[in-house]
């Protein structure tokens, strides 16, 4: 048991207590951030004359060696240390002797861990954002190629009106774009440095907190030391953004699963992204989409868990906060994995355009347009709705589509119909006449695609 705080104690810690308290098994994940933070701290201590130039140089050199030894596998992080902070400090003291003991001057593990977690989360915000950007590029590519790929749009999972695949994909583009904006907001709010908050009340040493903040790319120091050590809002915000990303991925997955089913066959998932059954040879299952949908619960769980952990904690630091790590790391890794895999699945997925088109033709998706035709010829909308309702009933009875009816049959229900009705209710017309901003018409869609393309170049 290697502990930083033995002095005040007369008895050894009970082994079970030690194990229960220790965090090294998971906080080793931010060994890099811990060392980076220590280097910044020591650099500032040197600048302020709290350490001599030689002490500062010696500690920094040694910290860098510890970092490369860990990264290149020469130094293992083992459970004999309580946490990653103890591991780094103990190794520094082993190598440097008394000078190493000066590392922790003017610092507490409370502000140290607050810094490490913030640095780690900040990096994860950027990684997640980069993955979302790649996913958006895949979606945009599909949009560009499919402004004329007609498919049914659904409400209540019932065929509603014809749209295009580009339009459908465009909806997800908007969702993931908002997710990126959320990440940017979080970054802006969280990018302040808690180091120098001390245990809770700052320190008596003349630390230059602006300088440490600047060294690590923060906008500045946090402005209240009690809040500095006990704020986990940024993590809750990030987990909330992650939960929303997962919700979007899960909805998308659900559609892929439906589209990939035998009944729909709108898409075919690439062999590399599907799995088989151990008993049914014909099976090709959409497991990746199902797993993404399933893992959404885990990420929601992390958010709820942290909100609950934080809700009863008095100021300032309390050990409950150690519970912020495992679940957050799990959620962060899960979200990154899901975005990357979903992106791979989407990029390799084949869209069965004929099936989509046939499905759009088959479900009276042009009924609204038939009613609009009547309205354009002077029939009040409510009457037109009733007339087309009768037409639909007639078609269901005969097992045909509106387009299959002869002009005589149509005229028998309403004399207003003329030869041009067929053109007016063709799938192409239905889609391409919808030209309001955000609608599926080709021209409207192309404007949006051009704007999104520019957005992705930024």
Nearer of residues 21 and 191 to ligand ARG, judged by Cβ: 21
Q: How many CB atoms lie within 10 A of CB 255?
A: 17
Nearer of residues 23 and 28 to ligand ARG, judged by Cβ: 23
CB of 234 to ligand ARG, least distance (A): 15
Of 331, 311, 308, nearest to 239 (Cα)?
A: 331
Minimal CB distance residue for ligand ARG = 322
Site stretch for ligand ARG (CB under 6 A), options 50-58, 296-304, 316-324, 441-449? 316-324
Nearer of residues 83 and 452 to ligand ARG, judged by Cβ: 83
Of 178, 335, 411, 163, nearest to 266 (Cα)?
A: 163
**E-only strand ranges, 23-122:** none
CB of 180 to ligand ARG, least distance (A): 29
How is 137-157 classified by DSSP, letter by letter? Answer: HHHHHHHHHTTT-EEEEEETT
Joined tokens for residue 216: 């690590």
Question: Where would I find the H helices in 268-323?
Answer: 287-310
Nearer of residues 124 and 129 to ligand ARG, judged by Cβ: 124
Query: Counting contacts by CB under 6 A, is residue 24 touching ligand ARG?
Result: no
Residue 220's Cβ-side half-sphere holds a number of Cα atoms within 13 Å equal to 4
Place of tokens 């090294």: 24
From residue 381, how far is each of 257, 375, 440 by CA, in Å?
Answer: 38, 6, 23
Q: Is 68 helix (H, G, I), strand (E, B) or coil?
A: helix
Site stretch for ligand ARG (CB under 6 A), options 69-77, 149-157, 317-325, 328-336? 317-325
Site stretch for ligand ARG (CB under 6 A), options 66-74, 91-99, 279-287, 315-323? 315-323
CA–CA dist 150, 441 (Å, integer): 11
From 108, 127, 156, 168, the catalytic residue: 156
Touching ligand ARG, residues 100-129 (CB under 6 A): 109-110, 113
Query: Counting contacts by CB under 6 A, is residue 346 touching ligand ARG?
Result: no
Task: Give the residue, chosen from 123, 322, 348, 352, that forms a contact with ligand ARG under the rule CB under 6 A.
Answer: 322
CB of 110 to ligand ARG, least distance (A): 5
CA–CA dist 126, 115 (Å, integer): 17
Query: Counting contacts by CB under 6 A, is residue 33 touching ligand ARG?
Result: no
Nearer of residues 35 and 321 to ligand ARG, judged by Cβ: 321
Site stretch for ligand ARG (CB under 6 A), options 34-42, 161-169, 247-255, 313-321? 313-321
CB of 23 to ligand ARG, least distance (A): 4
CA–CA dist 259, 251 (Å, integer): 12
Query: Counting contacts by CB under 6 A, is residue 23 touching ligand ARG?
Result: yes
Q: How many CB atoms lie within 10 A of CB 243?
A: 20
Q: Is 2 helix (H, G, I), strand (E, B) or coil?
A: strand
Nearer of residues 138 and 222 to ligand ARG, judged by Cβ: 222
Nearer of residues 82 and 369 to ligand ARG, judged by Cβ: 82
Task: Give the residue, chosen from 34, 36, 55, 83, that forms a contact with ligand ARG under the rule CB under 6 A.
Answer: 83
The answer to whether residue 277 is catalytic is yes
CB of 368 to ligand ARG, least distance (A): 58
Nearer of residues 191 and 322 to ligand ARG, judged by Cβ: 322
From 225, 277, 328, 385, the catalytic residue: 277
CB of 26 to ligand ARG, least distance (A): 9
CA–CA dist 118, 33 (Å, integer): 9
CA–CA dist 119, 110 (Å, integer): 14
Of 242, 248, 245, 247, nearest to 302 (Cα)?
A: 242
Query: Counting contacts by CB under 6 A, is residue 136 touching ligand ARG?
Result: no
Distance between the two ends of the chain, CA-based, in angstroms?
51
Q: Is 53 helix (H, G, I), strand (E, B) or coil?
A: helix
User: Which residues, 6 or more positions from 120, have their beta carbon under 8 angstroms from its beta carbon?
Assistant: 29, 30, 33
Contacts with ligand ARG by CB under 6 A lie at 23, 27, 83, 109-110, 113, 317, 319, 321-322
Q: What are the residue numbers of the active site? A: 156, 277
């Amino acid at each position: 048991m290697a502990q930083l705080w033995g002095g005040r104690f007369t008895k050894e810690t009970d082994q079970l207590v030690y194990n229960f308290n220790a965090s090294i098994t998971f906080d080793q994940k931010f060994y890099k951030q811990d060392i980076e933070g220590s280097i910044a701290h020591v650099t500032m201590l040197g600048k302020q004359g709290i350490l001599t130039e030689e002490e500062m140089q010696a500690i920094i050199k040694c910290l860098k060696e510890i970092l490369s030894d860990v990264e290149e596998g020469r130094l293992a992080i083992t459970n004999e240390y309580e946490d990653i902070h103890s591991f780094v400090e103990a190794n520094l003291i082993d190598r440097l002797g008394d000078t190493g003991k000066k590392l922790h001057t003017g610092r507490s593990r409370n502000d140290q861990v607050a810094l490490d977690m913030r640095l780690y989360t900040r990096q994860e915000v950027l990684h997640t954002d980069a993955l979302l950007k790649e996913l958006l590029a895949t979606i945009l590519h599909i949009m560009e190629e499919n402004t004329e790929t007609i498919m049914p749009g659904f409400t209540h999972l019932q065929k509603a009106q014809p749209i295009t695949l580009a339009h459908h994909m465009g909806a997800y583009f908007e969702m993931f774009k908002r997710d990126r904006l959320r990440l940017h907001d979080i970054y802006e709010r969280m990018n302040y440095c808690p180091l120098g908050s001390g245990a809770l009340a700052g320190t008596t040493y003349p630390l230059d907190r602006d300088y440490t903040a600047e060294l690590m790319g923060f906008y500045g120091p946090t402005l209240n030391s009690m809040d500095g050590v006990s704020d986990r809002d940024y993590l809750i915000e990030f987990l909330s953004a992650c939960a929303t990303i997962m919700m979007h991925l899960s909805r998308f997955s659900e559609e892929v699963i439906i589209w990939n089913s035998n009944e729909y066959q709108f898409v075919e998932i690439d062999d590399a992204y599907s799995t088989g059954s151990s008993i049914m040879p014909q099976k090709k299952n959409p497991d990746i989409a199902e797993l993404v949908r399933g893992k959404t619960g885990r990420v929601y769980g992390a958010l709820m868990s942290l909100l609950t952990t934080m809700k009863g904690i008095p100021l300032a630091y309390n050990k409950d906060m150690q519970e912020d790590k495992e679940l957050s790391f799990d959620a962060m890794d899960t979200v990154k994995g899901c975005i990357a895999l979903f992106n791979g699945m989407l990029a390799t997925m084949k869209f069965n355009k004929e099936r989509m088109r046939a499905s759009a033709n088959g479900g009276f998706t042009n009924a609204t347009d038939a009613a609009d035709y009547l309205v354009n010829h002077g029939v009040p909308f409510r009457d037109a709705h009733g007339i087309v309702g009768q037409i639909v009933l007639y078609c269901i009875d005969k097992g045909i589509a509106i387009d299959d009816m002869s002009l005589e049959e149509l005229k028998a229900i309403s004399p207003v119909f003329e030869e041009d009705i067929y053109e007016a209710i063709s799938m192409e017309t239905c889609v391409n006449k919808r030209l309001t901003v955000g609608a599926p018409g080709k021209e409207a869609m192309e404007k949006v695609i051009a704007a999104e393309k520019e957005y992705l170049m930024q």
